Each structure stands twice: as C-alpha cells, then as structure tokens.
Structure 1
Amino acid sequence: MAKSMIQLRQDAERQRIEAYQVTLRRVSAVPRPAPNFERAIEEACRGFARRAIRDGALWRPKLKTRDPARLRLAAARFLYARYPVSAALEAIWLDSSGLNADEVALRKAWYVAAARGDSLYKAGANAWLSRKEVHCFVNVVGDFTFEEAFWLAIARSCTDDPGLATRLARTKIARTPRGEIAFWREVARFFCGHPTSREEIDDLCDYLGAMHRRDRAYSLKGRTLVSLRRQMVEWHRDIAAIERIEALRRRAAGKGQQAQGPAWDGSRLEDWDWEPSAKEAKAHGERFFVRQLRTAEDLVAESRAMHHCVSLYAAKCIAGNASIWVLRRKALGKIERLLTIELDPQNRAVQVRGFGNRLATAEERKIVERWAKARGVMLRA
C-alpha cells in the first residue's frame, strides 16, 4: 500500500535526525577523564617519601591540566620544593624515557636535594663536579637539558666566556658517558683554550672519541687545534680506505669466497713469539713477536703508523696472493713497531721494510731469520 504524504514526511524527518546523530557522534569530543591527583602524588613520593617537607594528603591543586607528566611535576614541587629549581633538574619528572632506573633515581635525588635546599655536592654530585661546578649547575638559567647543564657547569669552570661555555654545552660532549668524564673534561678544557665553531667541535669529538676507544691513555696534552684537524683528516682517509678494502672483501665473497667476520683467511702459518735470554735481552721482560694482519683496520693502521703503502696490498691478501706480517718488540710495558713483511703464497719473503720503507737493520734481520727458520719462511739473500 502506498504511503501517504504525511508518512513520507515523517520517514524523511526520521532519516534526517538519524543522519544528524551519526554526524554528531563522529565529531563530538570524547569526554576527558578527570585529573588523577592521587596518582601524581604517589609517583612523586615513590622512593623519596621520607624526604618530603609537606604531607601529600594536604595537596589541593587548582590545575586544569590532565597531563600526567605536568601533574607529577606539580606534585614534586609541592612535596619537596622550598626553593625554585632549574628546568634542567625538573625535566626528570616530565620525561624519563631512554634512561635506566639508576639514572632516573639519581636525577630525582638531585632534584629533591636542590629543591629542599640541601647540599647537592654532599648528595652525590661531588663524584663528578667540584663545589664551584655544582653551584653553577644548580643555578643554570635557560633552556638546557640535564646533560647540557652538567657540561655548562664544567665549561664555566674553565672559561669566563658564557657564550663559549654555552656553545660547548650544546656539542656532542654533552652526550658522552659520565663514566668517561675525566677524558671529556680534558676535551672541554682544550676547546675552552682553543675556541672554534660548534660544528667543528662536534666533528673533532667523533675523532677524539674513536681515539679514546682505541687507546684509553690517549691525551690532548701538547696538541693544538691545527694538529687535531690534520689528524682528523687522516682518520677520515683511513676510514675511507677501510671501507674500500671491505668492499673488495664483499665482492670477493660474491665470487664464491667466504667472508665470515671482519678478517680474511690469510696464510696458514702460525704466529711466532721469542723471548731472548737474560744475557741477550736489552731490557727486563723483552720479547719479540710476529703476527699476521688479517683485517682492513689493522692493515690501514700499520700503513699509517709505518708511513708506507702496505694498505694497498689488501686486494692481494683477500685473493690469497699475499700475506702481511709485522714484527713487534715489547719491553718495559711498551710495544714498538719494527718491521712489516710481505710473504707470497709459497711463504717466500717478498718485502721486509721498516718505518718509511727503510731496510731492516742487522739486529732486526737476525730476529727475522730466527722467525723464518722456525716457520719455514724463505728469505731473500
């Protein structure tokens, strides 16, 4: 039966209302939950309840924010703060992502000590900072992270130039491990005495970090900005050379050769050690040893240290057409580079060279002959 005009109008009105309600549900904001003040107090109290100067139950915040981080900071201020604290210290209540539990506890403890007016120096900062540096750290003004404020305080103890100190605090130095503070403090002190741009400091920090990882005794004593720039350029060249050698090794592996780990197969000859008798030795504990170089990094380092082109022999080593050996002397806790030796696949010595491609001395020749006899290596007359 056909619908009357009234029924049609009623159906149309009903459909319009339903469509309107669907649209309203889609665009209407979801009701926001009420601020969770109890949770904020609980999180701020955790681990430090005994050091609170106010009772958390008395907190009557007039906050509109529902952000848990901001509520947590407000709760910490109520519980511990007698005095205003820098944003660098307060940041731990806002965001602790990327930090381990020990670091979070340390930063919160430092905030509590500073906010209460206690001695931050006695609260544990003396493990890294002097009293003067602690004073600077507590009174940092500006938009600095915790790490930047930490290094700003150190830099201010080395220079009276606030602009230079701020520049240093915003470099990669601020992202170095606190356990290596002795080395990086020396680096900060160096750049206070040799100012340069933030970009160059970051570049040099990459180089200095690599040198420190390679040799924990590495020091900036006696170095200049000019010498560091030159050494950094050489380091970048070494990296490029290592990458070229690694590319050769990968291509060789693509032709059926195996490339397991960073080393190539090399010669099957074993390494060699010899300790002179007490009568022959020139120093207590003197020892000579011959080792094979089987990685790009070792080959490039030998080439750089001995001022010759042995790193160009990488392709021959990877292909199995040569092997590179080094003679070292160890005495009084120091290792001295003496010779670099190239052997062919038949274990015949093709080249024996010292620093700057010099020939072996008579004494070095005797040691090489002893090694050759022990390992069946043929030497040229």
Structure 2
Amino acid sequence: MARSMIQRRQDAERERTEAYQASLRRVSPASRSAPDFERALDEVRRGFAGMAIRDGALWRPKLKTRDPARLRLAAARYLYARYPVSAALEAIWLDRSGLDGQEIALRLAWYIAAAGGNSLYKAGANAWLSRKEVHCFLNLSGDLTFDEAFWMAIIRSYTEDLGLAARIARTKITRTPRGELAFWREVARFFCGQPTSREEIDDLCDYVGAMHQRDRAYSLKGRTLGSLRKQMSEWHRDVAAIERIEAMRRRVAGRVSPVKGAWDGSRLEDWEWQPPAKEAKAHGERFFIRQLRTAEDLVAESRAMHHCVSTYAGKCIAGYASIWVLRRKALGKIERLLTIELDPRHRAVQVRGFGNRLAMPDECKILERWAKAKGVTLRD
C-alpha cells in the first residue's frame, strides 16, 4: 500500500535522528569508571598489615585521578605518613620497574619508617649508611632518584661542595651493586678529592669496575687522576686488541665459540713442579707452565711482560704456534718469569722474559725439567 506524504516525512525524520545519535556516539568520550580507592588501599597494605597509623575505611580522598600509581601514593600517605618525606622515598609507590623483590621490600620499609617518624638508621639503613649520612638522605630535596639520593648522602660526607656531590651522584657510581659498596665508596671519595667532569667519571668507572671484577683486591689508594687516565687508555687499547683477535678467530673458525677469544691450542698438557724443601728459595715454592688460549690472557701477558706476544694470536688461532708461560708461586704471590713460543712439533721457537730478556740459568733448569717431562725440544 502506498505510504502517505506524512508517513514518508516521519520516516525521514526518524532516520535523521538515528544518524545524528550515531554521530554523537562516535565523537563523545566513553564514560569513565570511578577511581578505584579500595584497590589502592589493598596494594599499599600488602605485606605491611598492622603497620598503618590510620584506618583505611575512613579514607575519603578528594581525588579525580584514575592513575593507579598516584592512587597508591595517596593511599600510602594516608595509611603511614605522619611527616612528609622526599620524592626519592615516595617514588617506590609510583614506579618499581627494574627492581627485584628484595629491593622493593627494602624501599617500602624505608618509606614507612621515615614517613612514620621512626628511626631509619635502626630500620636497616645502618647496614650501609652512618647516622650522619642517614640524616642527609632524609633531608635531601630536588629531583633525585632513590639511588642518587642514597649516594648523595654518602658523597656529602666526603665533600662540602654541593655541586660536586650532585655531579658524582649522577654518574655510573649510582648504578653499582650495593653489595660492593665499600669499593665504590672509595671510588666516590677519590673523585671528591680529584674532581673531573661527569662524562670522564663515567668512563673511568668503566675501567675501575673492570679492574675490580678482575681483581677484588684492586684499589685506588696511591693513584692520581693522571695515572688513572693513562691506565684507562692502555685498557682501551687492550680491549681493542682483544676484539681484533676475536674477529680474527671468528673468521678462521667460521663460528662463534662459547668462550670468547678462545682457540683449541696445543694438546700438550700444563705442567707443575715443586722443588725439594732444601732447594726451594721460599716455603711452598712452586713453578708451573701453562698454555695461553684466550685473547685476554695473551694481551695481558704482552702488557705485563712488555713484549709483543699478543701479535702471535693469528699463528695460535691457525694452529702454527702455541704460547706458554712460566710462573713462580711463593708466599701467596705469583711471579711472571717467561713467555714461551712452541711450534706444532713442540719445539721451543722463542723464550723471553720481561722486556724480551733471555732466560736466566735458574729458569733454564726449570725449562729443561719441563721439556724432559713433556717431550718439548729446547733450542741451545
């Protein structure tokens, strides 16, 4: 049945209304849920039940934010804080990325102790900080992270220069393991006495950190900024040499070995000899000869003995030579004596000591014992 003019106008009006409402739905923001205060309270209470100074059920925040981190901080302030604390301590409620469970628990406990007016020193900070340093840590202001504030407190005990302390507190020292605090305290004190730029401190921290990992007895005592710069420069040259040797080894091997800079070397076994008590020059004296199979060992030998044995890496990788070292151990110390090059038939091609000196008579006698025991041929 044909529709009347009035009906057609009503249908057209209905379609226009529906199209208008659909457009409004597309451009209008979706309704937002209310801030989840209960969730914030539950997250803040977790692990610290019974330590709140206020009843969470009475919390009536006038907050419009829906950011979970900001809600956590607000809840923590209500439940635990009698006094305001620094942003460095409050940051644990806002962001915990990159922190393990133990570190998170420590920072939360520190916040609760400090905000509640309790002794942070007695709450566990005394494991790392003195009373003076704890006081400084609690009274720092400015845009500092927890680690920067922690180190700022330490550094202020070594210098009155606030600018210098802030500069050092923003270097790589701040990111060092807390378990190695004693060593890095020494480093921080060194730069307080011999200041330099933030960039150079970071570079020098890479060097001293590598030395500390290699030798736990490494110390900055008696060193100067100039000597440290020189040693760092030599270290960089050694690292570059190791990388060149590694690249050479990869080209020859055609694959990456699980041990960086290592090669197969000679099948000859290492050797050790302890002289009789009557012949020994010191109690427990021992001599040993071992093969160098890594780029690091080869470069270190070259640096320590002041000769060019590191340039023989190519021959070692190709199997045309093997490098051996003679060491003496006595009274808990190891002394470098000789560096030895053998060809594939176990014949001694070169024997050199410090600065390319020749072997001494006593050393030659030890070499003869080794040669006899292992079938090595020595030249006259």
How does the TM-score come out when normalised to structure 1? 0.95
**Distance of aligned partners of 1:53 and 1:4 in 2 relative to their CA distance in 1, 3 Å threshold:** same
**Whole-angstrom distance in 2 between the partners of 1:199 and 1:20:** 61
| SS of structure 2 residue aligned to 1:379 | coil
Counterpart of 2:348 in structure 1 is 349
State how 1:231-246 maps to structure 2 within 5 Å: 231-246=231-246
State how 1:153-164 maps to structure 2 within 5 Å: 153-164=153-164
Matched, 1:126 2:126: yes
**Distance of aligned partners of 1:328 and 1:55 in 2 relative to their CA distance in 1, 3 Å threshold:** same
- Render the CA deviation track for 1:281-336: whole Å, top value 9, x for unaligned: 11111111111011111111111111111010000000000000011111111111
Matched, 1:261 2:259: yes
**Whole-angstrom distance in 2 between the partners of 1:327 and 1:49:** 64
Counterpart of 2:229 in structure 1 is 229
Counterpart of 1:275 in structure 2 is 274
Counterpart of 2:59 in structure 1 is 59
| SS of structure 2 residue aligned to 1:289 | strand
**What letter is aligned with 1:336?**
E
CA contact 1:339–1:354 (8 Å) conserved in 2: yes
Counterpart of 1:335 in structure 2 is 334
**Whole-angstrom distance in 2 between the partners of 1:371 and 1:98:** 53
**Distance of aligned partners of 1:248 and 1:185 in 2 relative to their CA distance in 1, 3 Å threshold:** same
**Distance of aligned partners of 1:375 and 1:69 in 2 relative to their CA distance in 1, 3 Å threshold:** same
| SS of structure 1 residue aligned to 2:364 | helix
- Render the CA deviation track for 1:45-82: whole Å, top value 9, x for unaligned: 12223222112122111111111111111111111111
CA contact 1:341–1:349 (8 Å) conserved in 2: yes
CA contact 1:89–1:111 (8 Å) conserved in 2: yes
CA contact 1:164–1:195 (8 Å) conserved in 2: yes
Shift of 1:20: 3.7
**Whole-angstrom distance in 2 between the partners of 1:364 and 1:7:** 118
| SS of structure 1 residue aligned to 2:283 | coil
**Whole-angstrom distance in 2 between the partners of 1:67 and 1:207:** 42
**Whole-angstrom distance in 1 between the partners of 2:266 and 2:200:** 43
**Distance of aligned partners of 1:93 and 1:258 in 2 relative to their CA distance in 1, 3 Å threshold:** closer
Matched, 1:378 2:371: no
CA contact 1:293–1:326 (8 Å) conserved in 2: yes
CA contact 1:171–1:202 (8 Å) conserved in 2: yes
**Whole-angstrom distance in 2 between the partners of 1:64 and 1:273:** 76
CA contact 1:168–1:198 (8 Å) conserved in 2: yes
**Whole-angstrom distance in 2 between the partners of 1:111 and 1:298:** 48
**Whole-angstrom distance in 1 between the partners of 2:239 and 2:201:** 19
CA contact 1:265–1:294 (8 Å) conserved in 2: yes
| SS of structure 1 residue aligned to 2:180 | helix
Counterpart of 1:180 in structure 2 is 180
State how 1:212-227 maps to structure 2 within 5 Å: 212-227=212-227
Moved more, 262-271 or 146-155: 262-271
Counterpart of 1:96 in structure 2 is 96
**Distance of aligned partners of 1:374 and 1:77 in 2 relative to their CA distance in 1, 3 Å threshold:** same
CA contact 1:349–1:378 (8 Å) conserved in 2: yes
Shift of 1:11: 6.2
**What letter is aligned with 2:276?**
S
Shift of 1:30: 2.2
Aligned residues: 379
Shift of 1:28: 2.3
Counterpart of 1:324 in structure 2 is 323
**Distance of aligned partners of 1:109 and 1:260 in 2 relative to their CA distance in 1, 3 Å threshold:** closer
**Whole-angstrom distance in 2 between the partners of 1:15 and 1:304:** 88
After the TM superposition, which parts of structure 1 deviate over 4 Å for at least 4 consecutive aligned residues?
A: 1-19, 257-260
How does the TM-score come out when normalised to structure 2? 0.95
Shift of 1:27: 2.6
- Render the CA deviation track for 1:143-200: whole Å, top value 9, x for unaligned: 1000000000000000000000000110000000000000000000000000000000
State how 1:297-316 maps to structure 2 within 5 Å: 297-316=296-315
**Distance of aligned partners of 1:13 and 1:123 in 2 relative to their CA distance in 1, 3 Å threshold:** same
**What letter is aligned with 1:117?**
G
**Whole-angstrom distance in 2 between the partners of 1:224 and 1:287:** 36
| SS of structure 1 residue aligned to 2:50 | helix
CA contact 1:249–1:259 (8 Å) conserved in 2: no
| SS of structure 1 residue aligned to 2:291 | strand
Moved more, 46-55 or 99-108: 46-55
| SS of structure 2 residue aligned to 1:62 | coil
Moved more, 181-190 or 260-269: 260-269
**Whole-angstrom distance in 2 between the partners of 1:349 and 1:268:** 15
Structure 1 spans left out of the alignment, 5+ residues: none
- Render the CA deviation track for 1:29-55: whole Å, top value 9, x for unaligned: 222111111111111112223222112
**What letter is aligned with 2:338?**
L
Counterpart of 2:288 in structure 1 is 289
| SS of structure 1 residue aligned to 2:65 | coil
Structure 2 spans left out of the alignment, 5+ residues: none
**Distance of aligned partners of 1:320 and 1:77 in 2 relative to their CA distance in 1, 3 Å threshold:** same
